[in-house]
Amino acid sequence: MPGTAPGNDLTRAAEYGQPSMAEQVNIAAAYLRKFCPDTVHAGLILGSGLGDIPSFLTVKHSIAYTDIPRFPNSTAPGHSGNLHITEFQGTSILVFQGRFHLYEGWHPTQIALGIYVLKALGANELVVTNAAGALNPNYQPGDLMLIEDHLNFTGHSPLIGQNEDLGPTFPDMSQAYAPDLLIRIRAAADAFGQSLQSGIYAAVTGPALETSAERRFFSLSGADAIGMSTVPEVIAANHCGLKVLGISAITNMAVGGPDQKVDSIEEVFANAAVAGRAMLPLLQKFFQN
Ligand code: HPA
């Protein structure tokens, strides 16, 4: 077929004489394999304001996203664009320092590419972290919320298109956040006496924050926290058979009631840092198990 694939969509690229989604994954994975040990155990995506590499991980190689063929580059504030190949107690963990968002203009398939690359490198677990606003009035900025499930309000899916080489056409999503990983992180929290919220994450595209009426609507829909990321990666991870653990750093109250404050990005980053510090010992214990 003549011409170029429309937009940034990778999924029908093969019909336009470009490498298919699976081939693009293989190109990126082949490049990274030179730096990775034989088996990568897990991936960790660092969300907004949680940008520092956890100190318990030993960095073996750091690679700029711009050096990885086919990779997008992160442009959002607080997201540096580097992939770190790290080691922890004999296991290899790939750390994505900086993620890709729909609001940056990336196509959902580009957001998902790194997840399939992680799988191609042998991983079987993905830990995603993010910053989120609290829809649940019982939460407080600085809290950590385990994501038990999500509501996809983005109107997008990274699976639309040709990707049968990467996973089933209709993947099950009934346990999108792996119950055994939730048990493991709760055990880690118990060991430290760290309290955790557990709830449902609603994803929107942003970049405008929600109106107060929208926040009340999302709350009525059953969501406890809201953010602009995570869901595309989690769908792709379930598609290719990676188990997912998701943790939100609650950064602001987004209840949308009469007391709703004006949101400030400074407050979001400051509270993400507080929650991020509390997350580190939990992640260390989680990866020990
Ligand atoms: N809404 C959407 N995304 C967010 C928020 C919010 O209130 N806080 C942090 N990320």
CA 197 to chain centre: 18
Cβ(268) – ligand 1 distance below 6 Å: yes
Q: What gap in Å lies between CA 83 and CA 7, rounded to an integer?
A: 25
Assess whether pLDDT exceeds 70 at residue 32: yes
Taking residues 166-183, report their average pLDDT: 97
pLDDT at res. 73: 77
Cβ(209) – ligand 1 distance below 6 Å: yes
Assess whether pLDDT exceeds 70 at residue 4: no
* Residue that is written with structure tokens 């038990």 in the block: 148
pTM for this entry: 0.93
pLDDT at res. 2: 41
Q: What gap in Å lies between CA 100 and CA 72, rounded to an integer?
A: 8
pLDDT at res. 155: 96
Residue at 101: amino acid letter: H
Tell me if the bond preceding 179 is cis, omega within 30° of 0.
Answer: no
Which ligand 1 atom lies nearest to the CA of residue 204?
Answer: 2
Count of alpha carbons within 13 angstroms of residue 105, beta-carbon side: 4
Cβ(252) – ligand 1 distance below 6 Å: yes
pLDDT at res. 289: 64
| Protein residue with its CA nearest to atom 7 in ligand 1 | 133
* Most informative mutation of 151, 224, 228 for ligand 1 (most atoms within 8 A of CB): 228
Taking residues 173-195, report their average pLDDT: 96
Q: Are 225 and 139 in contact (CB under 8 A)?
A: yes
Least confident range from 37-51, 108-122, 171-185, 226-240: namely: 37-51
Q: Per-domain residue ranges for the chain?
A: 6-288
Assess whether pLDDT exceeds 80 at residue 11: no
Q: What is the CB neighbour count within 10 angstroms for residue 67?
A: 11
* Confidence band, pLDDT 50/70/90 cuts, at residue 1: very low
* Residue that is written with structure tokens 């490198």 in the block: 121
Q: Tell me the pLDDT of the chain averaged across its residues.
A: 91
Q: Are 74 and 80 in contact (CB under 8 A)?
A: yes
pLDDT at res. 187: 95
Six-digit token string for 23? 């081939």
Burial class from Cβ neighbours inside 10 Å (0-12, 13-18, 19+) for residue 124 reads middle
Q: What gap in Å lies between CA 120 and CA 30, rounded to an integer?
A: 9
* Confidence band, pLDDT 50/70/90 cuts, at residue 10: low
Using left for φ > 0, alpha for ψ between -120 and 50, and beta otherwise, residue 78 falls in left
Query: Cα(209) to centroid of ligand 1, in Å?
Result: 6
Query: Cα(13) to centroid of ligand 1, in Å?
Result: 33
**For helices 265-288 and 179-192, what crossing angle results, to 10°?**
100
Q: What gap in Å lies between CA 98 and CA 50, rounded to an integer?
A: 9
Taking residues 176-181, report their average pLDDT: 98
Taking residues 229-248, report their average pLDDT: 98
Cβ(202) – ligand 1 distance below 6 Å: no
Q: Are 80 and 66 in contact (CB under 8 A)?
A: no
Assess whether pLDDT exceeds 90 at residue 176: yes
* Confidence band, pLDDT 50/70/90 cuts, at residue 3: very low
pLDDT at res. 72: 82
CATH classification for the domain delimited by 6-288, as one of 3.90.320.10, 3.40.50.1580, 3.40.50.150, 3.40.640.10: 3.40.50.1580
Six-digit token string for 149? 């499930």
- What would the pLDDT profile of 204-218 be if each residue is shown by its tens digit? 999 999 999 999 999
Q: What gap in Å lies between CA 249 and CA 129, rounded to an integer?
A: 7
Taking residues 118-139, report their average pLDDT: 97
Query: Which of 161, 116, 92, 111 shows the shortest CA–CA distance to 26?
Result: 116
Cβ(254) – ligand 1 distance below 6 Å: yes
| Protein residue with its CA nearest to atom 9 in ligand 1 | 132
Q: What is the CB neighbour count within 10 angstroms for residue 214?
A: 16
* Confidence band, pLDDT 50/70/90 cuts, at residue 121: very high
